[in-house]
Amino acid sequence: MSLMNTYTLENGVKIPVLGFGTWQTPAGKVATDAVLAALDAGFTHIDTAEMYGNEKSIGQAVKASGIARSDLFITSKLDNQAHTYELATQALDRSLSDLQTDYLDLFLIHWPNPKAFRDHDWEKHLQETWRALEDAYTAGKVKAIGVSNFKPKHFEVLKKTQKIQPMVDQIRICPGDVDRLTIDYCQQHDILLEAYSPFGTGQIFANETLKALAQKKKRSVAQLCLRWSLQHGYLPLPKSVHPARIKENTEVFDFELTESEMQQIDALKGVAGFATDPDTADF
Binding site for ligand NAP (CB under 6 A): 21-24, 47, 110, 148-149, 170, 196-202, 205, 220, 222, 237-242, 245, 248-249
Smallest distance from ligand NAP to CB 157, Å: 18
What is the number of the residue whose Cβ is closest to ligand NAP?
A: 21
Output the CA–CA distances (angstroms, integers) from residue 80 to 39, 107, 116, 171, 262, in the order listed.
29, 13, 8, 16, 36
- The residue from 7, 52, 103, 137 that is catalytic is 52
CA count, 13 A, side-chain hemisphere, 244 = 1
Closer to ligand NAP by CB, 38 or 139: give it: 38
Backbone angles phi, psi at 274, to 5 degrees: -130, 160
Q: Which residues are within 8 A (CB) of 70 and not within 5 positions of it... i.e. 6 or more apart?
A: none
Contacts 24+ apart (CB under 8 A), 154-159: 154/112, 154/113, 154/126, 154/278, 155/185, 155/189, 155/191, 157/112, 157/123, 157/126, 157/127, 158/126, 158/127, 158/130
Closer to ligand NAP by CB, 44 or 148: give it: 148
Closest C-alpha among 7, 5, 9, 14 to residue 189: 9
Distance CA 40, CA 25 (A): 18
Closer to ligand NAP by CB, 163 or 192: give it: 192
Closer to ligand NAP by CB, 27 or 259: give it: 27
Smallest distance from ligand NAP to CB 72, Å: 15
Smallest distance from ligand NAP to CB 24, Å: 6
Instruction: Starting at the earlier edge strand, list the strands of the sheet with 20-21.
Output: 20-21, 45-47, 73-78, 106-109, 145-148, 168-172, 192-196, 235-236
**DSSP helix/strand/coil, 226:** helix
137 is catalytic: no
Residue 172 β-bridge partners: 196
Closest C-alpha among 49, 97, 81, 94 to residue 194: 49
Q: Which residues are annotated as a binding site for substrate?
A: 110
Closer to ligand NAP by CB, 44 or 240: give it: 240
Smallest distance from ligand NAP to CB 83, Å: 15
Smallest distance from ligand NAP to CB 114, Å: 11
Q: Please list the active-site residues.
A: 52
